[in-house]
Amino acid sequence: MKKTVVVTGGTRGIGGAVSRVLSEAGWDVIAATISQEEIDAFDGPPDIKLRILDVTSDLSVNGLFGQLTSLNGLVNCAGILQRGAEYDLDVFQRVIAVNLTGTMRCCVAAQPLLAQSSGAIVNTASMLSTFGGPLVPAYSASKGGVAQLTKALAGKWADDNIRVNAVAPGWIETEMTQGLREAPERSDAILSRTPMKRWGKAEEVGQLVKWLLSDDASFVTGSVYPVDGGYKAI
């Protein structure tokens, strides 16, 4: 019987890659996203189930998880970034609501089902969980919060046999980073600071998520794994 996983933000960018990698590995994938437009634009395998989900809404989140009879994994990839606008407090609060509170909301909603299956959670932190981002204070704060939330939940839910880890992507080829990749000076600065001298691929993050959800990582919890080509190491 296939194991079931919910991937929030699961139709684009890193979330879309995670959905595809897990589907190819034999998981029953539910990719949840914010709108029908996002669903219509998804180009993943046809066996991936697509659902609309607003992670800032109790009604939406409880509605999705309340329909499930079993769940083995949750991957929280839903997130937003508003470069240059996050010093506006309304924008700041919106980013925190999606990236941090939305992650917690989904974890809490999934917990009873994951306890039944001894399942696992993988959250999405960031290299900005470690480094500050002057143009994105809300994103930086939210991702720092995700890293610490991951550790807190791992400690709390270990008695339920739920493992909780996070990935912390660096500079990955996604729609979110397209502008930076297309600006030679910005891209060169990033690559010169990255030991592996290239942008990462979203599928490379997906492969780590797949391992963290698997039984091969059965003694791994409370950890935040960089996927950054060595950026954090120097």
Which residues form the catalytic set? 139
182 in Cβ contact with 139 (< 8 Å): no
Of 150, 141, 138, nearest to 76 by C-alpha is 150
5 in Cβ contact with 28 (< 8 Å): yes
**Angstrom distance (rounded) from CA 147 to CA 141:** 10
Nearest 5°: CA angle at 174, between 163 and 57?
Answer: 55
Q: What's the CA dihedral at 115, 117, 122, 123 to 10 degrees?
A: -40
- Residue 16, C-beta contacts closer than 8 angstroms, at least 6 positions apart: 10, 31, 42, 44, 202
CB neighbours of residue 41 within 10 Å: 12
Nearest 5°: CA angle at 150, between 149 and 153?
Answer: 80
Query: What's the token pair of residue 100?
Result: 């941090």
